[in-house]
Amino acid sequence: MKPIGPVLAAVLFAACAQSPEEDPPRLAEINQDPAKLHGYFMYMIRNEMEAMAAKVTRVDEKALRFAIQNTVAPDLTRRLVLGFEQHSVTVAENDESRIARWCNKEFGISREYHLAQMESSSGKKYWVIDFTREQLAELPEAAMAWFRRQRQAAEGRIYAYPPDWTPVPVMATCPCGR
């Protein structure tokens, strides 16, 4: 009989190493690679640290918190934001900013967000997500549009959706083609 202990230990170590709840990238890493802003921002939103998430945006904490925890559809908006995947980061024409494409297949939306460099009071430059007020205001509207599609598919009925509920698919691929 062969010892199974080392094999079991290796499997457990590999499973722990690929934990979905990894630490966010450090701000120093983001300054080297602005594509990592998405992971940092999502980590902070997922862990309900909107104040920390707002630090890597050009909007203040109140505006970000209001956009996500709105009175229209807070749970759906949070689900929409957390479902964003980053599909690309390209250099803008001015060569000083980047354009990130974030898509959410479940909600059927694809948006471009500008990433810009800001300067701290100490003179160091750092990357931020340059959300506009219009882009933040659009989040609950997009969530409600998705909800209306779900309700239409359910022939007007409204359900209390359990956590494992599978929604009616909006699109097979993201609008950006991925």
- pLDDT, residue 15, reads 42
User: Could you tell me where the beta strands, DSSP code E, fall in the chain?
Assistant: 85-91, 98-104, 109-119, 125-129
Among the listed residues 121, 99, 102, the one whose alpha carbon sits nearest the alpha carbon of residue 111 = 102
Beta strands across the sheet bearing 125-129:
85-91, 98-104, 109-119, 125-129
pLDDT bin (cut points 50, 70, 90) of residue 19 is: very low
- pLDDT, residue 26, reads 82
Q: Which two tokens stand for residue 37?
A: 């802003």
pLDDT bin (cut points 50, 70, 90) of residue 106 is: confident
Find how far residue 175's CA is from the centre of its chain.
Answer: 16
Mean pLDDT of the chain: 81
- pLDDT, residue 85, reads 94
**Average pLDDT score over residue span 70-76:** 86
d(CA 128, CA 35): 11
**Residue 120 CB contacts under 8 Å (≥ 6 apart), including other chains:** 126
Over residues 28-56, the pLDDT tens digits come to 888 889 999 999 999 999 999 999 999 99
